[in-house]
Chain A
Amino acid sequence: MADHTHDPPPGGALLVPVGESVTLRQTVAYTMEIAAAEEISEVHFVSPVAWHDVGDVELAVRERTQSLLDRVSVWAEEDAPADAPTIHTAVIGAEEYLFSPDDYADILARYADERGIKRIIVDPEYSPGGNVPLLRPMEVALAVRGFDVIEAPASRPVRRSRLTRPGGIAQFGLLFGISFLFYQLLGGFVIVTGDSFDFFYELITGTITAGLVAGALYTVTLSNRIRLRTLGKQLLRLGLYVPYLVYEIIKSNILITTIILHPKLPIEPRMTRVRSAVWGGPALTTLGNSITLTPGTLTVRTEGQDLYVHSLFQSARDGVADGALERAVRFVFYGRRAAAIPTPRERGDYVELQGPNAESEPDAGAEADVESEPDAETEPVEEEPK
């Protein structure tokens, strides 16, 4: 895969992706056992990081990852045999958008290829990007890439089912609040406008209902850790986004109406693929749904960050390639600074899969005069393999 493949180290090397997991300690111990038994000369502990947040959270993630790696190397040295293998630790993937287990597998594979490593030991409880059901887990993705993947045998607590995740008081509280508000909304806010009987009646029934809903579902509904301040900001920005979206919908609705009613039906449907610069469930869903909502474009499929968009005519396609919605969604989820990003066309993340320009890589020369804004978080993603 990589051009500059080194020869494998003489005694062989092991790659161990690590991250927060309950069986991390056991995985390290198992790795060192293997290393001792087979006289492995190098062990690499690497921690892929995903910037699910940009800005102030980024530093915290970096520190947490570093301290995790420090801990791992201390453990590894504890377990190390007499003729200890060299232990390397690394943080990888800091400049990329990691979304699916496949993305993680990609950067791990790159790391391994550069160092000639063929064997990978995985921690059974560590599944980066694994929150998304329907995607194949990282182990499988790595095995597909031709690595010898071993799962560390770790006795572990009962495996959690995929649907539920540990939820805290914040999840419960938020869900309770939303349910309660919704209940009162449907009741027409009698709690405010009615007499005292109404007040108590609505209060009690509302509390019971919201309590039941939140109690039953708080581990299912809200999957990620909630930061109320971030959430509040995102909701505010969502409030700005909705009118913009409605405007876009109306504008393109009128366009599509003229096209449908046009006697010649001047359509040029085409499938395109956009690698979007948003990640994570809610943001990607918002982008995909927004693209679908604006007539003329339809999100057919998502694969990691790749959106397969079917478009009805050229101007709709240009809208996707120029990434106005993408920028707006980045604004909603990551803030104003993140919205300043080159368009998918400029990044080379936009490919037409049909029509005269089909499958050809975007022509860099044609776009060279377009100035792309420098932005640390938006390093161009590497070339698509053809």
Chain B
Amino acid sequence: MIHTARPDQRSTPPTARRAARALRPALRSAGLLASLGVLVGTVLASLRFGSLPLSTATAIEAFTAFDGSTEHLIVRELRLPRTVIGLGVGAALAVAGVALQAVTRNPLASPEILGVNAGAAFAVVAAVHLLGIVSPSAYVWFAFAGAFVAMVVVFLIASAGRDGATPIKLALSGAVVTALLTSWISAILVLDERTLDQVRFWLAGSLVGRDLDAFAEIAPFLLVGLAIGGAMVRQFDTMSLGESLAAGLGQRTRAVRALTVLAVVLLAGAAVAAAGPIAFIGLAVPHAVRAVVGPSHGWLLPYAAIYGAVLLLVADVLGRIVARPSEIEVGIMTAIIGAPFLVHLVRSRRLSQL
């Protein structure tokens, strides 16, 4: 007998209250527009702030009236790539998190718990250790391959047995594979100080030193992942009612699970390849967004994509500001900003269950 995840009966808020608390449709549409505004503001901030703060005008002129000055070069060569990558990575992680939480109905479900980050990290650490590669842009394909293999392995293990990849088996085999890969990573890092010294910055999750070319290679996967996720909005709604109810309503649950895993592999794999293992966004953003816009995935998905990107960019900008002229890795900052926020949401009881 596997101990099944039972939704906690002790704190279930009544469904009616939850529905009343969610925003009404008109407000939700307006909110979406406002959120896009927030996103644009964040992008501008990301282009402006850094070890050399620039004015908004300079940041915009770098594209409209490029004059080759140092400021414009900084914007176009350094800040634009990390902003674009941050946008893609944040949105991808949050959407992957929404999809996984809908399908597994476990509040702990997130790409990192299904082994994506550990797979990517192991592939990169092994590549640095064995092949001696040095530049973070060379990590991209190793990271993607590692994430892909790890998630496929997790899914295959979980699919054993007649009932297929049930949420609980998916989550458990993900946790086990993650633990296994983490131990292999530790083995390498403990025995090889050079590799440790080189990869510890990448392992923290960072947008520094990535170029747009490397991101362009990953972008198609990201787009396909987003498209699959977006196309399955209704299925997510049904699945979050629970496995048996969804099946009773005519949902082909196995197919939906398999497609979800595919989407998550593409999204989270691309994200970790571009920016390193960034935890927490895929976990926290869906919870936060669900608390505000309610459980309908048609709204949840776009909101999550926007605020995933916003959280990542804000974290990156703050990381550049607080430690000027040096900077703090974005993977560290997302947790430092996001954790108190998540605690606040949980405490204010605005957090609806899945």
Q: Does chain A bind chain B?
A: no
* Chain B residues close to A by CB (< 8 Å): none
* Chain A residues close to B by CB (< 8 Å): none
